[in-house]
Structure 1
Amino acid sequence: MSERTHVKLELDDIQRGALSPRPTPYAATYILFRIDDREHGRELMRRASAVATSAADTVSPLGETWVSIALTYHGLKALGVAQEWLDTFAWEFRQGMAARANALGDIGESSPENWESPLGTSDVHVVLVALAPDSARLEAAIDHARPAYDALTGVTAIWRQNCHALPTETEPFGYRDGISHPAVEGSGIAGSNPLETPLKAGEFVLGYRDELGGIQTPQPDVLGRNGTYVVFRKLHQRVALFRRYLKDNSTSPDDEELLAAKIMGRWRSGAPLALSPSQDQPGLGADPSRNNAFLFQQDDPGGFTTPGGSHIRRGNPRDSSVAGEPRLHRMIRRGTAYGPPLPEGVLEDDGVDRGLMFAFVGAHLGRQFEFVQSEWMNDGVFFGSGDAKDPLTGSHDGSGDFTIPRRPVRRRLLSLPRFVVTRGGEYCFMPGLTALRWLGDLTD
């Protein structure tokens, strides 16, 4: 029997927000806190350990509802974690997202000086995320969590972003979202692609063996084990601009939808081009047992069905022959919409802020999130396409292009504008529940 079958995660100590797929529909909120008084910050950790939901608690009293707590590097410092222990965390985490802006393509409009305050600053210490099937139960979850920070005058709420998932499961550009989820060994949570072998637990949870055979655990072990790194990013989406670009570069409504599918790698219904190359199949897109059950290399090595530069193929090349072993860069991705949808058919910007709160979960910030963002999303060398960027989320300046393989003549989209602008973000550490209690019991 292989080692893979023996691994069992300590789910009762892992926060549920690290591994559990989200229900549909749902509402969520992100609340950021600054710790001004160390003792009050530690009390917040003690209270939070009783509020945060474990991955073993799959049925909470409020239904599909949970609360998760994460901390930035500055948050751990504010609590008084010793520097010798802080130095054992990933160096990208210690630097913070704002310092990594150039590597991430957060330049120009997306650069940190243009981010929403206080995102990317040393004032952000704690991130509380609450999630529930609807707004009423979300507020109930927040009310349940409120005693964790109410009356702590040394802890200040400094930012909040409310989010939602539509019953259609689409994001602001109109594509079905939240389809792909990796299988994590020992979690008991099935992946969305039956053709993908479960990934080693250490790719997502600290303290377990990863795909390379190593074990990453910040020290002391009681702090690092069963934790994970979480990336939060607020991404503004220029929906009207995207719609206008599609219309201006297509010959008919059908061609417009095909172009949108080639850019994403899926039809807007969620049906993958790999399984439905010539027309949309909404039934396929809505079927979680089929809409992610495909690979690329065997049937489509040249990208004639799903372009190599399309969004989903860049984010997860699956079995494709590319520079960089895809399994080493696999991560859990979650996007939650914010702001009202732009009405159907509107091609002019209405000035309303809308987009995604993006979350990445993984044990390796460098070779997972940062690698994918810099090498796969904002470059094309890995699949032989020079410096071409992701057509949808790449850091474009109006001079980029996107090539769609086609016989007898390939199709090229020119002058790609920036459709997605970073409004801010944070690198966080989501401790295990034991670690939250340990942080609460720290003494000077």
Structure 2
Amino acid sequence: MSGPPEAELELDDIQRGVLSPRPTPYAATYLVFRIDDRAHGRELMRRASAAVTSAADSVSPLGPAWVSVGVTCAGLAALGVPRSSLDTFAWEFRQGMAARAKALGDVGESSPEHWEAPLGSSDVHVVITAVAPDPLLLEAAVDRARPAYDRLPGVTAVWRQDCCALPTETEHFGYRDGVSHPAVEGSGIPGSNELDVPLKPGEFVLGYPDELGGVQGPQPDVLGRNGSYAVFRKLHQRVADFRRYLKDNATGPADEELVAAKIMGRWRSGAPLALAPRRDDPELGADPHRRNTFLYEREDPTGFATPRGCHIRRVNPRDASVAGEVRLHRMIRRGAVYGPPLPDGALEDDGADRGLMFAFIGAHLGRQFEFVQSEWINDGVFFGGNDAKDPVAGSADDSAGYTIPRRPVRRRLAALPRFVITRGGEYCFLPSLSALRWLGDLRD
């Protein structure tokens, strides 16, 4: 007996950046704009609709680069979207990331008063993201996209962040990034875990049934359907502090790599502890068909191989029975590195700004991004870890250590400092291509 028919996504109307994994290698840039003149803002939307690549297209209007366009709630208001329509968007989106700071663990050094201006403010209206295989192609693509916002004096560029792959193709802490990607029904893009059943499209694209059978979508339908929500966050990484922590808590170089793996859940090559529990396997780490195909609970329920409190087991518990249903909290996550690498072996900070531009794509800001951030990253109750925080990305405060399950006696590491500091970010709506045109054609 066959199951229900697979959903048919209108791929030609969905921005490619919603569903497609980041290319490898890559270069990327985030451009943020403020709309000072409504007519010019609408013209920006019209022009952007011609530059954005759809999920159905293998060739971009900008050559080898992809361009995505996001609009904040303040941006939609600046474009003249009626209040009756704005009120149908997710309430987290309407509040904005800065207002959600406490729930997200953005406190202390990560609190909005310390963010880079204008991030988190009402001046962030439009976010254009471009991705290309290398910096030269990226800059050429940005130049070709410039007509979308050039010669529009009522649209002001207020912030830019350039990103690119490090020579090692890792993030700054040294781990291979971009390993995991969920399968989405109807997208035509396979997930990175062959054991996963594809998720319903409504988990990531508005206007389609989700895992609960509900359909989310702002109104009117022409605006909400085929859109998605995006979260972007600038996260500064304290690389020297991370390296010193590993060194101070290890007995030697080999043990240092083991501690690094137990904290992340993967060796820095990308090989998971679930498949390589005793030693690194770089060949496995480089194989996209093998390195993410595993589960936890049947083989390792207590976490002797992959600690239950490590980073990757927190953000995606896979087959664990926690919080009702893990599938309701899955995310499409993308990271892009910014800033120069800290020289190999350096244990002191050189003052350079370096880190990760984090991006989340999904249809449910609350039960996807915010739930994972507050309940799984900044709390440990779901796996029996009390208030223990994620050892890599959590809002640690030097008051709690990290426990590695081990026979006959568990291993307890020293108190964790905060390795990642939030420098800013925002919640955006990614309109469909037809919605971009609709926004461009608004009239007062």
Match of 1:183 in 2: 183
Match of 2:141 in 1: 141
Which residues of structure 1 form unaligned runs of 5+? none
The question of whether the paired residues in 1 share the 8 Å contact of 2:249 and 2:414 is answered with: no
DSSP-derived class of the 1:101 partner: helix
CA–CA distance in structure 2, aligned partners of residues 86 and 125 of structure 1: 14
Deviation at 1:167, TM superposition (A): 4.9
Pick which of 259-268 and 164-173 moved more. 164-173
Q: Give the total of aligned pairs.
A: 444
Deviations 1:311-370 (A, max 9, x none): 000000000132341100001000000000111100000010000000000000000000
Compute the TM-score of the two structures, normalised by the length of structure 2: 0.99
Match of 2:307 in 1: 307
The question of whether the paired residues in 2 share the 8 Å contact of 1:24 and 1:166 is answered with: no
The question of whether the paired residues in 2 share the 8 Å contact of 1:272 and 1:291 is answered with: yes
5 Å-filtered alignment, 1:132-281, equals 132-281=132-281
Compute the TM-score of the two structures, normalised by the length of structure 1: 0.99
CA–CA distance in structure 1, aligned partners of residues 64 and 245 of structure 2: 38
CA–CA distance in structure 1, aligned partners of residues 276 and 54 of structure 2: 39
Match of 1:332 in 2: 332
The question of whether the paired residues in 2 share the 8 Å contact of 1:25 and 1:167 is answered with: no
The question of whether the paired residues in 1 share the 8 Å contact of 2:51 and 2:61 is answered with: no
Is 2:99 aligned against 1:94?
A: no
Evaluate the alpha carbon distance shift between residue 182 and residue 4 of structure 1 in structure 2; reply closer, same or farther with a 3 A threshold. Answer: farther
The question of whether the paired residues in 2 share the 8 Å contact of 1:58 and 1:64 is answered with: no
Evaluate the alpha carbon distance shift between residue 352 and residue 320 of structure 1 in structure 2; reply closer, same or farther with a 3 A threshold. Answer: same
Is 2:128 aligned against 1:128?
A: yes
5 Å-filtered alignment, 1:331-410, equals 331-410=331-410
Match of 2:108 in 1: 108
CA–CA distance in structure 1, aligned partners of residues 216 and 130 of structure 2: 27
Which residues of structure 2 form unaligned runs of 5+? none
The question of whether the paired residues in 1 share the 8 Å contact of 2:51 and 2:62 is answered with: no
Deviations 1:153-211 (A, max 9, x none): 00000000000123532000000000000000000000000000000000000000000
The question of whether the paired residues in 1 share the 8 Å contact of 2:231 and 2:361 is answered with: yes
Evaluate the alpha carbon distance shift between residue 10 and residue 207 of structure 1 in structure 2; reply closer, same or farther with a 3 A threshold. Answer: same
The question of whether the paired residues in 2 share the 8 Å contact of 1:24 and 1:167 is answered with: no
Pick which of 95-104 and 56-65 moved more. 56-65
Letter in 2 for 1:431: P
Aligned identity (percent) is 77
Deviation at 1:59, TM superposition (A): 2.7
CA–CA distance in structure 1, aligned partners of residues 4 and 159 of structure 2: 42
The question of whether the paired residues in 1 share the 8 Å contact of 2:28 and 2:131 is answered with: yes
Pick which of 31-40 and 135-144 moved more. 135-144
Letter in 1 for 2:89: F
CA RMSD of aligned residues (A): 1.0
CA–CA distance in structure 1, aligned partners of residues 223 and 49 of structure 2: 13
Deviation at 1:403, TM superposition (A): 1.2
CA–CA distance in structure 2, aligned partners of residues 120 and 18 of structure 1: 22
CA–CA distance in structure 2, aligned partners of residues 140 and 432 of structure 1: 25
Deviation at 1:35, TM superposition (A): 0.1
CA–CA distance in structure 2, aligned partners of residues 26 and 228 of structure 1: 23
Pick which of 282-291 and 52-61 moved more. 52-61
The question of whether the paired residues in 1 share the 8 Å contact of 2:106 and 2:422 is answered with: yes
Match of 1:38 in 2: 38
DSSP-derived class of the 2:275 partner: coil
DSSP-derived class of the 2:187 partner: coil
CA–CA distance in structure 1, aligned partners of residues 244 and 321 of structure 2: 34
DSSP-derived class of the 1:415 partner: coil
CA–CA distance in structure 2, aligned partners of residues 49 and 2 of structure 1: 39
Letter in 1 for 2:70: A
Match of 1:8 in 2: 8
CA–CA distance in structure 2, aligned partners of residues 220 and 91 of structure 1: 17
Deviation at 1:303, TM superposition (A): 0.6
The question of whether the paired residues in 2 share the 8 Å contact of 1:203 and 1:362 is answered with: yes
Letter in 1 for 2:152: L
Deviations 1:132-167 (A, max 9, x none): 001111011111210011010000000000001235
DSSP-derived class of the 1:159 partner: strand
Deviations 1:225-252 (A, max 9, x none): 0000000000000000000000000001
CA–CA distance in structure 2, aligned partners of residues 302 and 438 of structure 1: 52
